[in-house]
């Protein structure tokens, strides 16, 4: 039986268990370890949603790496992206570096697309994207995501770092909103 919870007057049902998340994170780390063997990388963590995913991923990487954070958001206090992307951080230190952007979720792709375009202004050696969640039906930006944890339908999710009005980030499972 699936678990249900209430957050801010909405009902959410468990979608992806803590165990499934852990297993998939280990698989993604193995893929990144293989792809970047012998390379130094920069993990650029998008705040706040990707914190838990990034921490678990990093613990499974056997690479020389540095960590940077950035705030790039488009949701505000709604269930859908408003399309207005804000990038809040100094990103001028990436020249010649292999960057892997660690993202919690890619919906329309507009936020990650804007961030990627901005990063290219600083001449990195490469940029790849690692997202825990991808909503392929909603991804209208055409952005390519090399490392994907899970593909889901275009519904709002919370848990494992992802929130609704800052609530639900601490949940161990990922939950989807009920219709």
Q: Could you list the active site residues? A: 107
Question: Torsions phi, psi of 120, nearest 5?
Answer: -65, -20
Three-point CA angle 118, 112, 75, nearest 5°: 115
Q: Tell me whether residue 51 is exposed, middle or buried, using C-beta atoms within 10 angstroms of its C-beta: 0 to 12, 13 to 18, 19 or more.
A: middle
Q: Nearest-5° angle of CA 111, CA 20, CA 41?
A: 50
Task: Determine the Cα–Cα distance for residues 135 and 112; give it in Å rounded to an integer.
Answer: 13
């Amino acid at each position: 039986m699936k678990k249900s919870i209430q957050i801010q007057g909405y009902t959410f049902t468990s979608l992806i268990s803590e165990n499934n998340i852990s297993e998939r994170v280990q698989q993604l780390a193995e893929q990144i370890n293989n792809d970047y063997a012998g390379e130094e990388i920069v993990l650029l963590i998008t705040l706040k949603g990707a914190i838990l995913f990034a921490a678990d991923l990093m613990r499974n990487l056997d690479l020389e790496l540095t960590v940077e954070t950035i705030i790039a958001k488009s949701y505000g206090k709604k269930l859908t992206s408003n399309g207005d992307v804000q990038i809040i951080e100094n990103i001028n230190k990436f020249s010649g570096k292999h960057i892997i952007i660690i993202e919690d979720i890619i919906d329309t792709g507009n936020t990650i697309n804007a961030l990627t375009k901005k990063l290219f202004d600083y001449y990195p050696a490469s940029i790849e994207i690692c997202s825990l969640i991808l909503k392929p039906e909603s991804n209208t930006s055409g952005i390519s995501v090399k490392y994907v944890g899970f593909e889901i339908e275009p519904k709002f999710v919370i848990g494992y770092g992802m929130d609704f009005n800052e609530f639900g980030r601490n949940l161990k499972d990922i939950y989807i909103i009920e219709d």
